Protein backbone atom coordinates (compact mmCIF):
# COMPACT_ATOMS: atom_id res chain seq x y z
CA UNK A 1 0.00 0.00 0.00
CA UNK A 2 1.33 3.45 -0.87
CA UNK A 3 2.27 5.68 2.02
CA UNK A 4 -0.74 7.65 3.20
CA UNK A 5 -0.77 11.42 3.20
CA UNK A 6 -1.11 12.45 6.86
CA UNK A 7 -4.54 13.32 8.21
CA UNK A 8 -3.41 16.87 8.97
CA UNK A 9 -2.23 17.50 5.43
CA UNK A 10 -5.47 16.13 4.00
CA UNK A 11 -7.50 18.47 6.23
CA UNK A 12 -5.35 21.46 5.27
CA UNK A 13 -5.71 20.68 1.56
CA UNK A 14 -9.49 20.14 1.75
CA UNK A 15 -10.31 23.16 3.89
CA UNK A 16 -7.89 25.26 1.83
CA UNK A 17 -9.91 24.38 -1.26
CA UNK A 18 -13.46 24.34 0.09
CA UNK A 19 -13.43 26.26 3.39
CA UNK A 20 -14.38 24.96 6.83
CA UNK A 21 -17.88 23.57 6.21
CA UNK A 22 -18.35 19.98 7.38
CA UNK A 23 -21.80 18.57 6.67
CA UNK A 24 -23.40 16.31 9.26
CA UNK A 25 -25.07 13.16 7.93
CA UNK A 26 -27.78 12.63 10.52
CA UNK A 27 -30.58 10.23 9.56
CA UNK A 28 -32.44 10.89 12.78
CA UNK A 29 -36.01 9.86 13.37
CA UNK A 30 -37.10 13.47 12.72
CA UNK A 31 -35.00 13.95 9.59
CA UNK A 32 -36.09 10.66 8.01
CA UNK A 33 -39.73 11.63 8.60
CA UNK A 34 -39.16 15.12 7.17
CA UNK A 35 -37.71 13.61 3.99
CA UNK A 36 -40.51 11.05 3.69
CA UNK A 37 -38.14 8.13 4.28
CA UNK A 38 -38.79 5.02 6.39
CA UNK A 39 -37.46 4.73 9.93
CA UNK A 40 -35.16 1.88 8.91
CA UNK A 41 -31.65 1.01 7.79
CA UNK A 42 -32.85 1.38 4.20
CA UNK A 43 -34.21 4.85 4.95
CA UNK A 44 -30.93 5.84 6.60
CA UNK A 45 -28.97 4.56 3.60
CA UNK A 46 -31.07 6.54 1.12
CA UNK A 47 -30.76 9.66 3.24
CA UNK A 48 -26.99 9.33 3.57
CA UNK A 49 -26.43 8.58 -0.12
CA UNK A 50 -28.45 11.67 -1.05
CA UNK A 51 -26.44 13.84 1.32
CA UNK A 52 -23.14 12.50 -0.04
CA UNK A 53 -24.29 13.16 -3.61
CA UNK A 54 -25.35 16.67 -2.61
CA UNK A 55 -22.09 17.71 -0.97
CA UNK A 56 -19.47 15.83 -3.03
CA UNK A 57 -17.11 18.29 -4.69
CA UNK A 58 -18.52 21.20 -2.68
CA UNK A 59 -17.24 20.76 0.87
CA UNK A 60 -14.18 19.50 2.73
CA UNK A 61 -15.77 16.96 5.01
CA UNK A 62 -18.82 15.04 6.18
CA UNK A 63 -19.61 13.79 9.66
CA UNK A 64 -21.97 10.80 9.76
CA UNK A 65 -23.46 10.45 13.24
CA UNK A 66 -22.99 6.79 14.13
CA UNK A 67 -25.93 6.66 16.58
CA UNK A 68 -28.36 7.24 13.71
CA UNK A 69 -27.13 4.03 12.07
CA UNK A 70 -26.68 2.12 15.33
CA UNK A 71 -30.38 2.69 16.10
CA UNK A 72 -31.11 0.16 13.34
CA UNK A 73 -28.94 -2.56 14.86
CA UNK A 74 -26.42 -4.64 12.94
CA UNK A 75 -28.16 -3.90 9.63
CA UNK A 76 -27.74 -0.19 10.29
CA UNK A 77 -24.05 -0.72 10.94
CA UNK A 78 -23.62 -2.61 7.66
CA UNK A 79 -25.22 0.38 5.95
CA UNK A 80 -22.79 2.64 7.79
CA UNK A 81 -19.82 0.65 6.44
CA UNK A 82 -21.04 1.38 2.91
CA UNK A 83 -21.80 5.04 3.61
CA UNK A 84 -18.36 5.73 5.06
CA UNK A 85 -16.72 4.01 2.11
CA UNK A 86 -18.85 5.82 -0.48
CA UNK A 87 -18.15 9.19 1.14
CA UNK A 88 -14.41 8.53 1.03
CA UNK A 89 -14.67 7.45 -2.60
CA UNK A 90 -16.43 10.77 -3.29
CA UNK A 91 -13.27 12.55 -2.12
CA UNK A 92 -14.69 13.73 1.19
CA UNK A 93 -12.89 13.68 4.52
CA UNK A 94 -15.10 11.38 6.59
CA UNK A 95 -15.42 11.91 10.33
CA UNK A 96 -17.28 9.10 12.10
CA UNK A 97 -19.01 10.72 15.06
CA UNK A 98 -19.12 7.82 17.51
CA UNK A 99 -17.79 9.49 20.68
CA UNK A 100 -16.21 6.22 21.77
CA UNK A 101 -14.48 6.00 25.12
CA UNK A 102 -12.70 3.17 26.90
CA UNK A 103 -9.38 1.86 28.19
CA UNK A 104 -6.74 -0.75 27.41
CA UNK A 105 -7.68 -3.63 25.14
CA UNK A 106 -11.18 -2.16 24.74
CA UNK A 107 -9.80 1.12 23.39
CA UNK A 108 -7.64 -1.01 21.10
CA UNK A 109 -10.77 -2.79 19.83
CA UNK A 110 -12.37 0.56 18.98
CA UNK A 111 -9.16 1.39 17.12
CA UNK A 112 -9.51 -1.89 15.20
CA UNK A 113 -13.09 -1.00 14.32
CA UNK A 114 -12.48 2.55 13.12
CA UNK A 115 -8.83 3.53 12.81
CA UNK A 116 -6.62 0.66 11.69
CA UNK A 117 -5.64 0.49 8.02
CA UNK A 118 -7.96 -2.50 7.52
CA UNK A 119 -10.78 -1.29 9.82
CA UNK A 120 -14.27 -2.41 8.75
CA UNK A 121 -15.58 1.12 9.25
CA UNK A 122 -13.49 3.02 6.72
CA UNK A 123 -13.23 6.61 7.88
CA UNK A 124 -10.64 9.39 8.09
CA UNK A 125 -11.26 10.29 11.71
CA UNK A 126 -13.22 9.18 14.76
CA UNK A 127 -14.62 11.25 17.61
CA UNK A 128 -13.77 10.21 21.18
CA UNK A 129 -14.80 11.38 24.65
CA UNK A 130 -12.23 11.67 27.46
CA UNK A 131 -14.13 10.89 30.69
CA UNK A 132 -11.76 7.94 31.32
CA UNK A 133 -8.78 10.18 30.65
CA UNK A 134 -7.09 11.39 27.47
CA UNK A 135 -4.22 9.02 28.23
CA UNK A 136 -6.58 6.03 28.15
CA UNK A 137 -7.26 6.77 24.49
CA UNK A 138 -3.63 6.11 23.51
CA UNK A 139 -4.43 2.91 21.55
CA UNK A 140 -6.66 5.05 19.31
CA UNK A 141 -4.00 7.75 18.95
CA UNK A 142 -1.40 5.13 18.03
CA UNK A 143 -3.68 3.48 15.48
CA UNK A 144 -4.59 6.81 13.88
CA UNK A 145 -0.96 7.79 13.61
CA UNK A 146 0.02 4.46 12.08
CA UNK A 147 -2.72 4.50 9.43
CA UNK A 148 -2.65 8.22 8.58
CA UNK A 149 -6.04 8.83 10.20
CA UNK A 150 -7.13 11.28 12.88
CA UNK A 151 -9.28 11.55 15.98
CA UNK A 152 -11.25 14.37 17.56
CA UNK A 153 -11.47 14.31 21.35
CA UNK A 154 -14.42 16.20 22.84
CA UNK A 155 -13.08 19.06 24.98
CA UNK A 156 -16.07 21.42 25.13
CA UNK A 157 -19.47 20.27 23.96
CA UNK A 158 -22.10 22.63 22.63
CA UNK A 159 -24.81 21.72 25.19
CA UNK A 160 -25.37 23.40 28.57
CA UNK A 161 -25.46 20.16 30.63
CA UNK A 162 -21.74 19.59 30.10
CA UNK A 163 -20.59 22.86 31.66
CA UNK A 164 -20.40 21.75 35.30
CA UNK A 165 -18.00 18.92 34.39
CA UNK A 166 -16.04 20.62 31.61
CA UNK A 167 -15.40 23.75 33.72
CA UNK A 168 -14.43 21.84 36.88
CA UNK A 169 -10.92 22.61 38.12
CA UNK A 170 -8.34 19.83 37.93
CA UNK A 171 -5.40 19.40 40.31
CA UNK A 172 -3.23 20.92 37.58
CA UNK A 173 -5.08 24.21 38.09
CA UNK A 174 -6.65 23.95 34.66
CA UNK A 175 -10.31 23.45 33.88
CA UNK A 176 -11.17 19.95 32.65
CA UNK A 177 -11.66 21.38 29.16
CA UNK A 178 -8.24 23.03 29.17
CA UNK A 179 -6.65 19.95 30.70
CA UNK A 180 -8.00 17.88 27.80
CA UNK A 181 -6.69 20.44 25.30
CA UNK A 182 -3.28 20.51 27.01
CA UNK A 183 -3.03 16.72 26.96
CA UNK A 184 -3.97 16.68 23.27
CA UNK A 185 -1.28 19.30 22.61
CA UNK A 186 1.27 17.12 24.38
CA UNK A 187 0.37 14.10 22.22
CA UNK A 188 0.50 16.14 19.00
CA UNK A 189 3.86 17.53 20.15
CA UNK A 190 5.30 14.02 20.18
CA UNK A 191 4.07 13.20 16.68
CA UNK A 192 6.21 14.22 13.74
CA UNK A 193 4.37 13.08 10.65
CA UNK A 194 5.53 15.93 8.44
CA UNK A 195 2.30 17.94 8.73
CA UNK A 196 1.91 21.25 10.53
CA UNK A 197 -1.40 19.84 11.82
CA UNK A 198 -1.19 16.83 14.13
CA UNK A 199 -3.67 13.90 13.98
CA UNK A 200 -5.26 14.59 17.37
CA UNK A 201 -8.01 17.18 17.00
CA UNK A 202 -10.51 18.54 19.49
CA UNK A 203 -14.26 19.04 19.49
CA UNK A 204 -14.91 22.56 20.78
CA UNK A 205 -18.44 23.93 20.59
CA UNK A 206 -19.11 27.18 18.74
CA UNK A 207 -21.09 28.49 21.68
CA UNK A 208 -18.31 27.86 24.18
CA UNK A 209 -17.20 30.66 26.47
CA UNK A 210 -13.58 31.76 26.27
CA UNK A 211 -11.06 29.67 28.19
CA UNK A 212 -7.50 30.52 29.09
CA UNK A 213 -6.02 27.85 26.86
CA UNK A 214 -4.26 29.21 23.78
CA UNK A 215 -5.93 27.18 21.05
CA UNK A 216 -3.11 27.93 18.63
CA UNK A 217 -0.86 25.64 20.70
CA UNK A 218 -3.16 22.60 20.43
CA UNK A 219 -1.46 21.40 17.26
CA UNK A 220 -4.47 19.69 15.66
CA UNK A 221 -7.74 20.47 13.90
CA UNK A 222 -10.92 21.71 15.60
CA UNK A 223 -14.29 20.14 14.94
CA UNK A 224 -16.88 22.75 15.83
CA UNK A 225 -20.50 21.76 16.51
CA UNK A 226 -23.34 24.01 17.51
CA UNK A 227 -23.61 26.22 14.42
CA UNK A 228 -26.95 26.60 12.66
CA UNK A 229 -29.90 24.76 14.17
CA UNK A 230 -28.19 24.65 17.58
CA UNK A 231 -28.00 28.44 17.70
CA UNK A 232 -24.33 29.20 17.07
CA UNK A 233 -23.38 31.59 14.26
CA UNK A 234 -20.48 31.87 11.84
CA UNK A 235 -19.60 35.21 13.45
CA UNK A 236 -19.29 33.48 16.84
CA UNK A 237 -16.97 30.88 15.34
CA UNK A 238 -14.88 33.66 13.80
CA UNK A 239 -14.63 35.46 17.15
CA UNK A 240 -13.90 32.39 19.27
CA UNK A 241 -11.29 30.91 16.93
CA UNK A 242 -9.71 34.17 15.76
CA UNK A 243 -5.99 34.12 15.20
CA UNK A 244 -5.99 30.45 14.19
CA UNK A 245 -5.25 29.17 10.69
CA UNK A 246 -8.83 28.88 9.42
CA UNK A 247 -7.76 25.75 7.52
CA UNK A 248 -7.58 23.97 10.90
CA UNK A 249 -11.32 24.54 11.49
CA UNK A 250 -14.14 22.18 10.51
CA UNK A 251 -17.52 23.73 11.26
CA UNK A 252 -20.30 21.15 11.35
CA UNK A 253 -23.79 21.96 10.09
CA UNK A 254 -26.52 19.45 9.50
CA UNK A 255 -30.15 20.35 10.16
CA UNK A 256 -29.69 23.85 8.71
CA UNK A 257 -28.81 22.19 5.39
CA UNK A 258 -31.02 19.08 5.38
CA UNK A 259 -34.04 21.20 6.31
CA UNK A 260 -34.40 22.31 2.66
CA UNK A 261 -35.56 18.76 1.87
CA UNK A 262 -34.29 15.98 -0.40
CA UNK A 263 -34.17 17.86 -3.71
CA UNK A 264 -30.58 17.61 -4.94
CA UNK A 265 -30.50 21.02 -6.63
CA UNK A 266 -31.89 22.80 -3.58
CA UNK A 267 -29.49 20.92 -1.29
CA UNK A 268 -26.48 21.93 -3.38
CA UNK A 269 -27.64 25.57 -3.45
CA UNK A 270 -28.03 25.54 0.33
CA UNK A 271 -24.61 23.95 0.82
CA UNK A 272 -23.01 26.62 -1.38
CA UNK A 273 -24.80 29.40 0.52
CA UNK A 274 -23.75 28.06 3.94
CA UNK A 275 -20.22 27.47 2.70
CA UNK A 276 -19.89 31.05 1.48
CA UNK A 277 -21.43 32.45 4.66
CA UNK A 278 -18.83 30.64 6.74
CA UNK A 279 -15.99 31.62 4.46
CA UNK A 280 -16.92 35.31 4.53
CA UNK A 281 -17.39 35.37 8.31
CA UNK A 282 -14.03 33.71 8.91
CA UNK A 283 -12.18 35.81 6.34
CA UNK A 284 -13.47 38.98 8.05
CA UNK A 285 -12.18 37.91 11.47
Binding site for a copy of itself (CB under 8 A): 26, 28-30, 65, 67-68, 70-81, 99-110, 112-113, 120-121, 129-136, 154, 157-172, 175-176, 179-180
Give min distance, CB of 122 to a copy of itself, in A. Answer: 10
Give min distance, CB of 73 to a copy of itself, in A. Answer: 3
3-state helix, strand, coil in the chain (%, to 5): 50, 20, 35
* Of residues 91 and 104, the one with the C-beta less far from a copy of itself: 104
Give min distance, CB of 253 to a copy of itself, in A. Answer: 15
Give min distance, CB of 70 to a copy of itself, in A. Answer: 5
* Of residues 8 and 228, the one with the C-beta less far from a copy of itself: 228
* Of residues 154 and 281, the one with the C-beta less far from a copy of itself: 154
Give min distance, CB of 162 to a copy of itself, in A. Answer: 4
Catalytic residue among 3, 63, 99, 270: 99
* Of residues 59 and 128, the one with the C-beta less far from a copy of itself: 128
* Of residues 15 and 166, the one with the C-beta less far from a copy of itself: 166
Please report the DSSP string for the chain in residue order: -PPPPPHHHHHHHHHHHH-SEEEEE---HHHHHHTT--SSHHHHHHHHHHHHHHHTTT-SEEEEBTHHHHTTHHHHHHHHHHHHHHHHHTT-EEEEEEEE---HHHHHHHHHHHTSTT-SS--SEEEE--TT-GGGGHHHHHHHHHHT-EEEEEEE-SSGGGHHHHTPBPTTSSBHHHHHHHHHHHHHHH--SS-SSEEEEEEE-TTPPP-SS-GGGS-EEEEE--BSTTSB-HHHHHHHTTTS-GGGEEEEE-HHHHTT-S-HHHHHHHHHHHHHHHHHHHHT-
Residue 99 a catalytic site member = yes
- Residue positions annotated with a catalytic role: 99
Amino acid sequence: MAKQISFGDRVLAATGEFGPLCVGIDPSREQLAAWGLGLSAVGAERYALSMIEAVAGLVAAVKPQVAFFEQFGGRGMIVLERILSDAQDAGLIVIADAKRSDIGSTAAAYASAWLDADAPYRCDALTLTPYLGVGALKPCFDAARASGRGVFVVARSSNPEGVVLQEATAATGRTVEDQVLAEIAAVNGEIHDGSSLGPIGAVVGATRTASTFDLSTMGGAFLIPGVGAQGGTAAEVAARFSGLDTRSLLVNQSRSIASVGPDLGQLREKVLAEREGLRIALAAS
